Structure 1
């Protein structure tokens, strides 16, 4: 089963794990409504597809105003986002996550994925953050547990 970031964060909230405030948007109007509800800028506009590398592919942007949220949502919804995990065909963006822009003190990486060889769940974690986790794994494997 694959879930989007916004769905994972809803699960985290359910179990009182702190995450930035925000919510999903399937239309430009919904993106504006979520940004209005947050009440402060910047906000982050994140494409929701089942693939990593969204930030590097242009699918994660900061918006400093309501007008920027509108422009970003108009541009992202319906676009084909190409990342290193999608292949050249990319994936169409039909959902966005709009959330608070926060000052990041420390970025961590955590992934749970099926290990088909053992038929168990593998947990991968790193204090080196997530934007370049593949590079961390290749260049500093000791930082991956």
Structure 2
């Protein structure tokens, strides 16, 4: 199933699972209005592509001003995001999700994976967050 982060979060909200406030944009000119509607002084700009590893690939950018948000949007729109899950060309970025930043006290990871060999769902959970989930799974599989 290929859905973007904003689509997954929309599904979560349908089942009363809280998600951060966010605005989906498809042009840099919408960035300032997105920040104004979200409020605050901290935002995260996230490339919406069908690939994991977006943070490591530079597709998730923490911004502390609307100017930084606009700069992030300028650098991402029209570029290709290369991650460990894409080919060498990467994937084109056509949409960005701007979220209000959060003070993170604790980061967790929860993933549902389809094991094609056993034809079952595997649940992957970690108290170490998801940025290096492959490394965490290899080093501490319990």
Backbone CA RMSD of aligned residues: 1.3
Q: Does 1:122 align with 2:116?
A: no
- CA drift of 1:6 comes to 1.1
Query: Which residue in the other structure is 2:78 paired with?
Result: 78
Provide structure 1 residue ranges, at least 5 long, that are not aligned to the other structure.
none
Q: For 2:115 and 2:78, locate their aligned partners in 1 and report how far apart those are by CA, in whole Å.
A: 33
Q: What are the equivalent positions in structure 2 for 1:27-106 lying under 5 Å apart?
A: 27-106=27-106
Alpha-carbon contact 1:24-1:31 (below 8 Å) kept: no
Question: The residue matched to 1:105 in structure 2 has which SS?
Answer: coil
Q: For 1:55 and 1:36, locate their aligned partners in 2 and report how far apart those are by CA, in whole Å.
A: 24
Query: Which residue in the other structure is 2:10 paired with?
Result: 10
- CA drift of 1:112 comes to 1.9
Comparing 133-142 with 122-131, greater Cα deviation is found at 122-131
Q: For 1:122 and 1:61, locate their aligned partners in 2 and report how far apart those are by CA, in whole Å.
A: 30
Query: Which residue in the other structure is 1:141 paired with?
Result: 141
Provide structure 2 residue ranges, at least 5 long, that are not aligned to the other structure.
none
Question: The residue matched to 2:135 in structure 1 has which SS?
Answer: helix
Q: For 1:71 and 1:80, locate their aligned partners in 2 and report how far apart those are by CA, in whole Å.
A: 16
Alpha-carbon contact 2:39-2:100 (below 8 Å) kept: no
Q: For 1:139 and 1:6, locate their aligned partners in 2 and report how far apart those are by CA, in whole Å.
A: 31
Q: For 2:30 and 2:121, locate their aligned partners in 1 and report how far apart those are by CA, in whole Å.
A: 35
* TM-score scaled by length of structure 1: 0.90
Instruction: Count matched residues.
Output: 142
